[in-house]
């Protein structure tokens, strides 16, 4: 075969998020069996061996994006699904924003751009075929990676058209399908990476290795922000296999604290050596903090401090005082760990003033900013290679591990693999902020909310972790309730939300569903309490509040559709049998939430039994999600299952406990992650919607805890406002 150079095109094509530069067509050396490929779009390559490679910039850590995003391309391309292969796009600074993978927005953001990539290639292939047949492109149709001549019924496979297609100009505005013609979107697809994952071939950050690599672990102060007074590493250095002991310098912008690193020939040697180092620590300002003392501080803040007012309208005080039916609840939320099964790690090299790292980062652009600033280098001197991530959940926003690895690569002049051990991650990880909330709310004689006041104190990872400017109304802080989410999702004419930031005695970070993991619990338990006080069924009470005519501007965001929240509530109610006669000792609880830009809606209903000694049996749970257009139904199911288990673990017994400033939990066991044998029966209802696609990954979290707490209230009259519920003596039994 002759070598063919496909470097022709220079059209600039721009579409939504994907701002594309001139696109060189792929020129692969054809002397060997290497396929010749045509790359009409940076994220799509069609090869003459029939394979179609889709590059994904978003990070995969279990959300299924490496399947659902290719589905969008394959749909418009009319590709045969079994031709599709997915690859990670190499990180490039030019498109850094597209690599950001958080806030469950990948599908929402890329729904159109990914489809356009497929549509564009399809149009070129059709044109190429039409030219061959000397017919108009409108006389062609496509299916299963083929162009078909509708008149003659001849067909040409895409792989046989790539050479001709590469001669054609890139269409500027490819036409997208009507959803009625979708063949791939909306049909369940299995993970494109499943074979590699199940045979151990997928390379996660922890698995990556380089020749001549040395292994390192870091001894960090058990208390947040502690420093070293002095240390003696003689014994460690003398251990066979230890290469060096290096002090880690603190780097505020990379979230790195002072520490002592052991570089050795193995994780095992490094771990043994760490135990041989004597350090005298200055435990710093958080030395005496316990979980209880910190919660006390937060509660005091709510009571006595002048709070930052996030939003206020009407006259909350007067209306609250005048109401006959009202509630005042005090919520307490603990710090929570992400505890992904893969702990953080990073591999780094340093050569001629340049660093290269390999790891898993949810926001590599943010990481590079922090790293470049910390090391005083330009971006040209830092190459980031992204690897598969063994569970994200917000934990991989942090890049402290990269900074530590880079320091060591420079110090040792050898490739370094920097591991965090399980205990390192449990005890010195980054946690969901704790929060104290006082919520006061009242209703009028028609069961409409007449006042709502949300006062809270907690921490913000923006401020605490990266020293970024505070965004006080951010949903990340949770205080003030909803911040960027818009106001309360139930209508109320008199409203106030206010908060007070307290620096956390640990590192903090976003955690699956961010502040909503707390705010929604506060709201849904308060609503339940008001319903009870109004002697109204809690579902009816919600449905009454959510009626279309209950809203006055500016309370409701334009894109919020309360009727969709009503639908998911009705679905779980029906699923659990809300209005049917209940079996003896069965009690129900319900809760709901809209989410992020209000494009998704979810609800949960629990059926539980509680024994006199507070043992809870979860008989059944029904979950519902309306996330707009569903791309991969099985993927949505998987996310709802996972989110449920995640949220139930946290609600039942999730807590990071501080004693003398030190985290007490060290593995999954003490942290109480739900086990296989504890999984209660769960049914999931997905709404088949034609609305634009919304969020999924975090959607299944917020309404789990309040639905459970409300069920416990129904069963026992015990209004739980402190999470986890184990703190009130309750325990799950099978």
Q: Which residues contact 396 (CB under 8 A, 6 or more apart)?
A: 59, 61, 344, 360, 361, 362, 389
Strands 345-351 vs 354-359: parallel, antiparallel or unpaired: antiparallel
CA angle 238, 244, 248 (to 5 degrees): 130
Per rule CB under 8 A, is residue 198 in the interface with other proteins?
Answer: yes
The one segment of 154-162, 225-233, 255-263, 674-682 that binds other proteins by CB under 8 A: 674-682
Q: How many residues bind other proteins (CB under 8 A)?
A: 63
Strands 354-359 vs 382-386: parallel, antiparallel or unpaired: parallel
Choose among other proteins, ligand FES, none what residue 537 binds, the Cβ cut-off being 5 to 8 Å by kind.
none
Q: Which is nearer to other proteins, 330 or 620 (CB)?
A: 620
**Of residues 181, 195, 328, 484, which one binds other proteins by CB under 8 A?**
195
Per rule CB under 8 A, is residue 481 in the interface with other proteins?
Answer: no
- Enter the tokens of residue 259: 């520490």
Per rule CB under 8 A, is residue 401 in the interface with other proteins?
Answer: no
Residue with tokens 């090391």: 375
Per rule CB under 8 A, is residue 675 in the interface with other proteins?
Answer: yes
Contact 732, 616 (CB under 8 A): yes
- Three-state SS at 243: strand
Q: Which is nearer to ligand FES, 62 or 628 (CB)?
A: 62
**Of residues 190, 235, 351, 583, which one binds other proteins by CB under 8 A?**
190
- The CA distance from 573 to 538, in Å, is 11
Per rule CB under 8 A, is residue 733 in the interface with other proteins?
Answer: no
Residue closest to ligand FES (Cβ)? 341
Q: Which is nearer to other proteins, 12 or 194 (CB)?
A: 194
Shortest separation between residue 26's beta carbon and other proteins, angstroms: 29
Q: What beta strand segments (E) does 365-482 contain? A: 382-386, 416-419, 430-431, 435-443, 449-458
Q: Which is nearer to other proteins, 308 or 668 (CB)?
A: 668
Q: Which is nearer to other proteins, 436 or 618 (CB)?
A: 618
The one segment of 164-172, 200-208, 324-332, 447-455 that binds other proteins by CB under 8 A: 200-208
Choose among ligand FES, other proteins, none what residue 673 binds, the Cβ cut-off being 5 to 8 Å by kind.
other proteins
CB atoms within 10 A of CB 239: 17
Choose among ligand FES, other proteins, none what residue 376 binds, the Cβ cut-off being 5 to 8 Å by kind.
none
Shortest separation between residue 190's beta carbon and other proteins, angstroms: 4
Choose among other proteins, ligand FES, none what residue 190 binds, the Cβ cut-off being 5 to 8 Å by kind.
other proteins
**Of residues 28, 307, 673, 704, which one binds other proteins by CB under 8 A?**
673
Q: Which residues contact 74 (CB under 8 A, 6 or more apart)?
A: 52, 54, 81, 84, 118, 184
Strands 430-431 vs 227-232: parallel, antiparallel or unpaired: unpaired
- CA torsion sign for 567, 571, 572, 573 is positive
Choose among other proteins, ligand FES, none what residue 75 binds, the Cβ cut-off being 5 to 8 Å by kind.
none
Q: How far does CA 107 lie from the centroid of its chain?
A: 12
CA angle 461, 465, 471 (to 5 degrees): 45
CA angle 236, 237, 242 (to 5 degrees): 95
H/E stretch holding 46 reads: strand 44-47
Residues 329-358 that bind other proteins (CB under 8 A): 338-343
CB atoms within 10 A of CB 547: 13
Write each residue from 54 to 83 as x if it is in contact with other proteins (CB under 8 A), else as -, in one continuous string.
Answer: ------xxxxx-------------------
Q: Which is nearer to ligand FES, 551 or 668 (CB)?
A: 668
Give the residue from 381, 420, 332 showing the smallest Cα distance to 655: 332
Residue environment code for 46-84, b if the CB has 16+ CB neighbours within 10 A, otherwise e:
bbbeebbbbbbbbbbbbbbbbbbbbbbbbbbbbbbbebb
- The CA distance from 155 to 163, in Å, is 16
Per rule CB under 8 A, is residue 197 in the interface with other proteins?
Answer: yes
Write each residue from 413 to 442 as x if it is in contact with other proteins (CB under 8 A), else as -, in one continuous string.
Answer: --------xx--------------------
- The CA distance from 127 to 13, in Å, is 18
Choose among ligand FES, other proteins, none what residue 580 binds, the Cβ cut-off being 5 to 8 Å by kind.
none
Per rule CB under 8 A, is residue 646 in the interface with other proteins?
Answer: yes
Q: Which is nearer to other proteins, 338 or 556 (CB)?
A: 338
Where on the chain is the footprint of ligand FES (CB under 6 A)?
62, 341, 391
Q: Which is nearer to other proteins, 231 or 668 (CB)?
A: 668
- Three-state SS at 440: strand
Q: How far does CA 560 lie from the centroid of its chain?
A: 22
- The CA distance from 431 to 699, in Å, is 20
Write each residue from 690 to 729 as x if it is in contact with other proteins (CB under 8 A), else as -, in one continuous string.
Answer: ----------------------------------------
Residues 202-261 that bind other proteins (CB under 8 A): 202-204, 206-207, 209, 215, 240-241
Choose among other proteins, ligand FES, none what residue 201 binds, the Cβ cut-off being 5 to 8 Å by kind.
other proteins
**Of residues 176, 629, 679, 685, which one binds other proteins by CB under 8 A?**
679
- Enter the tokens of residue 665: 């939990």
The one segment of 10-18, 190-198, 248-256, 550-558 that binds other proteins by CB under 8 A: 190-198
Give the residue from 647, 693, 680 showing the smallest Cα distance to 520: 647
Q: Which is nearer to other proteins, 592 or 643 (CB)?
A: 643
Q: Which is nearer to ligand FES, 65 or 531 (CB)?
A: 65
Shortest separation between residue 485's beta carbon and other proteins, angstroms: 25
The one segment of 91-99, 386-394, 460-468, 708-716 that binds other proteins by CB under 8 A: 386-394
Shortest separation between residue 197's beta carbon and ligand FES, angstroms: 8
Q: How far does CA 50 lie from the centroid of its chain?
A: 34
Give the residue from 526, 386, 351, 520 showing the smallest Cα distance to 443: 526
- The CA distance from 272 to 680, in Å, is 41
Q: Which is nearer to ligand FES, 61 or 91 (CB)?
A: 61
- The CA distance from 483 to 553, in Å, is 17
Backbone angles phi, psi at 636, to 5 degrees: -65, -40
The one segment of 39-47, 189-197, 561-569, 610-618 that binds other proteins by CB under 8 A: 189-197
- Site of interaction with other proteins (CB under 8 A): 60-64, 188, 190-191, 193-195, 197-204, 206-207, 209, 215, 240-241, 266-269, 271, 338-343, 388-393, 421-422, 634, 638, 641-646, 667-669, 673-679, 682
């Amino acid at each position: 075969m002759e070598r063919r150079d496909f470097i022709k095109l220079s059209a600039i094509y721009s579409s939504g998020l994907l701002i594309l530069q001139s696109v060189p067509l792929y020129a692969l050396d054809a002397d060997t069996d290497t396929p010749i490929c045509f790359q009409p779009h940076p994220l799509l390559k069609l090869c003459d061996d029939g394979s179609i490679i889709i590059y994904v910039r978003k990070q995969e850590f279990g959300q299924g994006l490496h399947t659902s995003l290719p589905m969008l391309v394959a749909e418009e391309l009319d590709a045969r699904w079994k031709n599709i292969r997915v690859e990670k796009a190499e990180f490039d600074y030019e498109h850094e924003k597209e690599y950001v993978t958080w806030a469950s927005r990948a599908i929402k953001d890329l729904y159109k751009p990914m489809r356009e990539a497929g549509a564009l290639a399809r149009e070129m292939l059709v044109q190429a075929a039409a030219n061959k047949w000397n017919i108009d492109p409108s006389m062609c149709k496509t299916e299963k990676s083929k162009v078909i001549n509708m008149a003659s019924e001849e067909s040409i496979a895409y792989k046989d058209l790539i050479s001709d297609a590469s001669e054609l100009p890139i269409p500027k505005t490819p036409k997208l399908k009507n959803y009625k013609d979708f063949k791939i979107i909306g049909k369940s697809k299995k993970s494109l990476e499943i074979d590699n994952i199940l045979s151990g071939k997928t390379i996660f950050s922890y698995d990556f290795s380089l020749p001549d690599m040395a292994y390192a672990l870091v001894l960090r102060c058990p208390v947040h922000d502690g420093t070293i007074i002095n240390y003696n590493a003689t014994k460690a250095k003398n251990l066979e296999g230890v290469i060096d002991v290096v002090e880690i310098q603190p780097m505020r912008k990379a979230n790195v604290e002072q520490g002592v690193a052991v570089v050795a020939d193995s994780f095992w040697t490094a771990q043994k050596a760490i135990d041989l180092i004597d350090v005298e620590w200055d435990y710093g300002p958080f030395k005496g903090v316990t979980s209880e003392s910190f919660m006390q501080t937060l509660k005091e803040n709510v009571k006595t401090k002048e709070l930052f007012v996030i939003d206020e309208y009407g006259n909350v005080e007067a209306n609250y005082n005048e109401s006959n039916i009202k509630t005042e609840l005090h919520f307490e939320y603990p710090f929570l760990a992400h505890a992904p099964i893969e702990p953080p790690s990073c591999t780094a090299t340093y050569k001629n003033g340049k660093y290269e790292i390999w790891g898993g980062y949810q926001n590599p652009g943010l990481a590079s900013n922090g790293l470049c600033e910390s090391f005083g280098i330009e971006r040209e001197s830092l190459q980031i290679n992204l690897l598969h991530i063994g569970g994200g959940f917000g934990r991989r926003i942090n890049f402290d591990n990269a900074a530590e690895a880079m320091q060591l690569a420079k110090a040792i002049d050898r490739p370094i693999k920097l591991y965090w051990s399980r205990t390192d991650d449990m005890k010195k990880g980054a946690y969901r902020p704790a929060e104290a909330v006082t919520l006061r709310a009242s209703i009028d004689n028609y069961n409409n909310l007449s006042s709502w006041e949300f006062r809270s104190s907690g921490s913000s990872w923006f401020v605490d972790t990266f020293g970024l400017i505070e965004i006080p109304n951010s949903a990340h802080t949770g205080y003030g309730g909803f911040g960027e989410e818009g106001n309360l999702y139930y209508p109320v004419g008199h409203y106030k939300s206010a908060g007070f930031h307290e620096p956390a005695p640990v590192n903090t970070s976003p955690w699956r569903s961010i502040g909503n993991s707390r705010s929604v619990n506060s709201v849904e338990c308060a609503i339940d309490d008001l319903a009870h006080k109004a002697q109204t069924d809690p579902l009816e009470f919600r449905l009454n509040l959510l009626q279309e005519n209950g809203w006055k501007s500016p309370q409701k965001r334009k894109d919020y559709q309360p009727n969709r929240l009503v639908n998911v509530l009705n679905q779980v109610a029906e699923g659990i049998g809300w209005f049917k006669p209940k079996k003896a000792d069965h009690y129900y609880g319900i809760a709901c939430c809209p989410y992020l830009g209000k494009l998704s809606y979810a609800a949960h209903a629990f059926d539980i039994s509680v024994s006199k000694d507070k043992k809870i049996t979860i008989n059944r749970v029904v979950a519902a999600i309306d996330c707009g257009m569903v791309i991969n139904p099985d993927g949505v199911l998987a996310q709802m299952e996972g989110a449920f288990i995640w949220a139930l673990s946290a609600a039942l017994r999730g807590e990071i406990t501080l004693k003398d400033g030190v985290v007490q939990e060290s593995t999954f066991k003490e942290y109480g992650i739900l086990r296989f044998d504890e999984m209660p029966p769960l049914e999931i209802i997905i709404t088949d919607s034609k609305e634009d696609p919304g969020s999924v990954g975090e959607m299944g979290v917020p309404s789990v805890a309040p639905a459970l707490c409300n069920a416990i209230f129904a069963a026992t009259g015990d209004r739980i406002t402190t999470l986890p519920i184990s703190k009130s003596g309750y325990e799950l039994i099978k």
